[in-house]
Amino acid sequence: MLGGLFKRFDDSLIPRFEPTYPTYVGTTRTVGTSGTYSTITAAWNASSNGDIVEVLNDLDMSLEPSGYLLLNIAKSVKIKGTNSSIRIYSNTTQVLRARIIRSVTFEDLIIDSSGGKTIIYDAGVYTTPAELFFTNCTILNSSSVNLMDIGLATYNIKMIFTDCIIENSNVGILMTLNGKLDDIYYFKGCTITQNANNYNVIGEATENYKVYFYDSNLYSYADYPVLRIGKDTSVPITNGVFADIRENNITYLGGAVGHGMLIGRGTDDVKILNNKVTLLEDTDTSNIGIVIKTINTTTGGLVKGNTCIGYRPMLVKGGSNLDIQYNYCKINIDNYAGFEITNIAENVDLNSNTITFKNNKVFGGSESLLFSSSTAEPISTTKTTWDFDNNIYSSVDGDYITSQGVSHTFENRTDYWTDDANSVFI
How is the chain split into domains, by residue range?
Answer: 28-425
pLDDT of residue 235: 77
Q: Is 404 helix (H, G, I), strand (E, B) or coil?
A: coil
Using CA atoms, how far apart are residues 413 and 423, in angstroms rounded to an integer? Answer: 11
Task: For residues 157 and 51, give the distance between their C-alpha atoms in angstroms, rounded to a whole number.
Answer: 21
Neighbours of 304 (CB within 10 A): 23
CATH of the domain spanning 28-425: 2.160.20
pLDDT of 142 strictly over 50: yes
Write down the pTM of the prediction: 0.94
**Given this model, what pLDDT does residue 24 score?**
98
pLDDT digits (tens, 9 = 90+) for 15-57: 999 999 999 999 999 999 999 999 999 999 999 999 999 999 9
* pLDDT at res. 124: 66
Using the predicted structure, report yes or no on whether residue 177 has a pLDDT greater than 70.
yes
Q: Where are the beta strands (DSSP E) in 145-209?
A: 148-150, 157-162, 165-168, 175-176, 184-188, 191-194, 201-203
Q: What is the pLDDT of residue 230?
A: 83
Q: Give the pLDDT score at 152.
A: 61
- What are the phi and psi torsion angles at 44 (to 5°)? -60, -45
Q: Is 337 helix (H, G, I), strand (E, B) or coil?
A: coil
Mark residue 114 as left, alpha or beta (left: phi above 0; alpha: psi -120 to 50; beta: remaining): alpha
Q: What is the pLDDT of residue 5?
A: 44
Region 70-85: mean pLDDT is 95
- In this structure, of 145-149, 221-225, 403-407, the range with the lowest mean pLDDT score is 145-149
Partners of 399 in the β-ladder: 367
Please count the helices (runs of H) and the strands (runs of E) in the chain. Answer: 2, 43
Q: What pLDDT, on the 0 to 100 scale, is given for residue 115?
A: 86
Assign 380 to helix, strand or coil: helix
Q: What is the pLDDT of residue 54?
A: 98
Q: Is 137 helix (H, G, I), strand (E, B) or coil?
A: coil
Under the banding of pLDDT at 50, 70 and 90, the label for residue 147 is: confident
Residue 8 has what pLDDT?
76
Residue pair 317/295 in contact (Cβ under 8 Å)? The answer is no
pLDDT tier at 7 (50, 70, 90 boundaries)?
low
The pLDDT of 223-243, averaged and rounded, is 82
Rounded CA-CA distance 189/19 in Å is 14
**d(C-alpha 252, C-alpha 194), whole Å:** 10
For 274-325, give the secondary structure using H, E and C: CCEEEECCCCCCCCEEEEECCCCCCCCEEEECCEEEECEEEEEECCCCEEEE
Q: What is the pLDDT of residues 359-372, one digit of tens each?
A: 999 999 999 999 99
Look over the chain and give the mean of its residue pLDDT values, rounded to a whole number. Answer: 89
Question: Is-contact 147 166, C-beta < 8 A?
Answer: yes
- What local confidence, expressed as pLDDT, does residue 26 receive? 97
The model's pLDDT over 249-290, given as tens digits with 9 standing for 90+, comes to 999 988 777 899 999 888 888 999 999 999 988 768 888 999
Q: In the chain, pLDDT over 70 holds for what percent of residues?
A: 93
Query: Which residues does 97 contact at the CB level (< 8 Å), separation at least 6?
Result: 66, 68, 69, 70, 71, 120, 122
Would residue 50 be called left, alpha or beta, if left means φ above 0 and alpha means ψ between -120 and 50 degrees?
left
Burial class (CB in 10 A: 0-12, 13-18, 19+), 405: exposed
Q: What's the pLDDT at 2?
A: 41
DSSP 374: -
Lowest mean pLDDT among 57-61, 134-138, 192-196: 192-196
